[in-house]
Amino acid sequence: MNASDPIKIAVVGHTNVGKTSLLRTLLQQTDFGVVAASPSSTREVISSGIVVDGEPVLEFFDTPGLEAGTDLYDLFAREFQPEYRHDGPAQVQAFLHSLYARDDFEQEAKVLRQLTRSDAAFYVIDVRDPVLAKFQDELTILMRCGKPLVAVLNFTGAAKAYTREWKQALARVNLHTLVEFDTFSPPPGAEQELFNSLVAVLPAARAQLDAVAAVRREQRQQRRREAYLQLAELLVDVAAYRKLVASGDKQLLNRAVATMQREVKQREQTCLSEIIALYAFRLDTAVLAELNIEAGYWQDDLFSAHTLKDFGLKAGLGVGTGAAAGAGVDLMVGGLSLGAATAIGALVGGVYQGWQNYGSRLRARFSGAQELMVEDTIVALLATRQCYLIEQLARRGHAASGQLVVGAEAGDQPSALVCWQPGKEPAALREARKRPQWSAMMVEEFEPSSARQRQISALQQALMNQADQL
């Protein structure tokens, strides 16, 4: 292995243990290879790699699953053992040049051939299966290739797993380099452990493997920063967003409220799609329990009191009546003095928190009209839903294809990630409330500015800090 050549890693193991799933997660490619419940999904060797600074550093080879390990073990003992008793690689080569490799054991020959051409291998084990003789037989054959093996214990998050038994079995054949890695939901730091395990068996490749690990760490951090930046922009857009309707016109008010709800939903969906794409998932596979599996849309209505309850938020009361009340939209009566507006708000059960900060210039401008803006509870719900999405995607393997189950643990509940309760929002959102020109949803009035960007950056950091504490 030359320092300039990519490190070649074969991924081997019994059929249907998650070899392709492992590579989907490592490569962050939801469409790599074929994943199916039926055995022998992979029939040929498939390769893909990781590039650093434009140069291929790691090349992975997905191999067919071993199915006839015990029969092959018996063949080796019967046909190739005497002459190659103490030379495993020569024994494997003798088999590969025999008729057996082209006939009865064609699939096994593909695996062994690729392993002999590789620098090392990940031996993938489905720990939901008990330690059986057929697995031990195939492992013995793989070890005869003379290549370093790293055991990857897959699906360790399963309710019924034989992890301890597999560790004991591997130790008995002197295979101590192993990593626990659930391809559907990798434990924190599991990818780093995989790279460290390769360093342990390929010390000459340390510089290349360290470079890969460093790039992947930076990618994860950058992806998270970008996701929270997208969320911060969403929240500023919605918090600053408002509509004016003629005072006293119920039909106009109803239509305006419906339009606001629709546009806020669309803006959230845009953010959701961008975040899913950022994490390299497809909308039809990167789904949560609250998302429609076909289109990636949130199933629950953003403006539903039921949705607020599910996410641990208390429904707020606006200062309005009629169509706006309980619709997730606050109604402000233009043209009234500050004291009169406060008195009316108190009478109907809620006061708009930002009214006292709304400047005299804007109050005069909107005199005689009713102004609608999104309730604080809805802004808090948007933050909570998207924070939940980001944190779930960050720990989701690209092999996962079904819905994530919410509620398996307390930490998985959406309500455990409530960013804030209404009235306790970050300062950046209070600033956005006073500046409708900061909302990109108001196309004609939108004014991008350095002040807006500073508040978005501050909000991005506040959201990341909040998520770290939850």
Q: Provide DSSP, 256-296.
A: HHHHHHHHHHHHHHHHHHHHHHHTT--TTTS--TTB-TTT-
Query: pLDDT band at 298, cuts 50/70/90?
Result: low
pLDDT value for 136? 94
Each residue of 320-348: pLDDT tens digit? 433 454 566 765 544 333 333 333 333 33
Q: Is pLDDT of 453 > 50?
A: yes
Report the distance separating Cα 80 and Cα 131, nearest Å. Answer: 26
Report the distance separating Cα 302 and Cα 293, nearest Å. Answer: 17
pLDDT value for 305? 65
Cβ partners under 8 Å of residue 231, min gap 6: 271, 275, 383, 386, 387, 390, 460, 463
Neighbours of 413 (CB within 10 A): 16
CA dihedral 334, 336, 341, 343 (to 10 degrees): -150
Neighbours of 165 (CB within 10 A): 12
Looking at domain 7-201, its CATH superfamily turns out to be: P-loop containing nucleotide triphosphate hydrolases (3.40.50.300)
- Region 184-206 average pLDDT: 88
Give the CA radius of gyration of the chain: 29
Query: pLDDT band at 306, cuts 50/70/90?
Result: low
Query: pLDDT band at 156, cuts 50/70/90?
Result: confident
pLDDT value for 452? 95
Contact, 10 vs 118, CB < 8 A?
A: yes
The candidate with the shortest Cα–Cα distance to 260, out of 96, 419, 30, 436, is 436
Q: What value, to the nearest 5°, has the Cα angle with vertex 79 and ends 74 and 81?
A: 80
pLDDT value for 416? 52
pLDDT value for 336? 34
- Region 304-312 average pLDDT: 65
Each residue of 36-95: pLDDT tens digit? 444 445 557 777 878 888 888 899 999 998 989 899 999 998 888 777 888 999 999 999
319-322: list long-range contacts, CB under 8 Å, 24+ apart: 319/344, 319/345, 319/348, 319/350, 319/351, 319/352, 320/348, 320/370, 320/372, 321/348, 322/250, 322/253
Each residue of 200-209: pLDDT tens digit? 999 999 999 9
**To 10 degrees, what angle do helices 206-240 and 190-201 make?**
170
The candidate with the shortest Cα–Cα distance to 63, out of 81, 83, 47, 79, is 47
Domain boundaries, the chain: 7-201, 221-469
Q: How many residues does the chain have?
A: 470
pLDDT value for 309? 66
pLDDT above 70 covers what percent of the chain? 73
Top pLDDT among 141 and 331 is at 141
Q: Does this model's pTM top 0.85?
A: no
Which residues lie across from 121 on neighbouring strands?
Answer: 10, 149
Contact, 24 vs 399, CB < 8 A?
A: yes
Neighbours of 386 (CB within 10 A): 24
pLDDT value for 387? 87
pLDDT value for 331? 59
Neighbours of 37 (CB within 10 A): 6
Contact, 61 vs 45, CB < 8 A?
A: yes
Q: Is pLDDT of 97 > 80?
A: yes
Amino acid at 166: W
Each residue of 213-272: pLDDT tens digit? 888 888 889 999 999 999 999 999 999 998 887 766 778 888 888 888 889 989 988 898
Each residue of 389-402: pLDDT tens digit? 888 888 877 766 66
pLDDT value for 321? 38
Each residue of 399-440: pLDDT tens digit? 666 654 433 333 445 555 567 777 788 999 999 988 999 999
Q: Is pLDDT of 295 > 70?
A: no
Query: pLDDT band at 449, cuts 50/70/90?
Result: very high
56-60: list long-range contacts, CB under 8 Å, 24+ apart: 56/6, 57/6, 57/7, 57/208, 57/211, 57/212, 58/6, 58/7, 58/9, 58/208, 58/209, 58/212, 59/6, 59/7, 59/8, 59/9, 60/9, 60/10, 60/11, 60/23, 60/26, 60/27
Which SS3 state, helix, strand or coil, does residue 449 take? Answer: coil
Top pLDDT among 4 and 50 is at 50
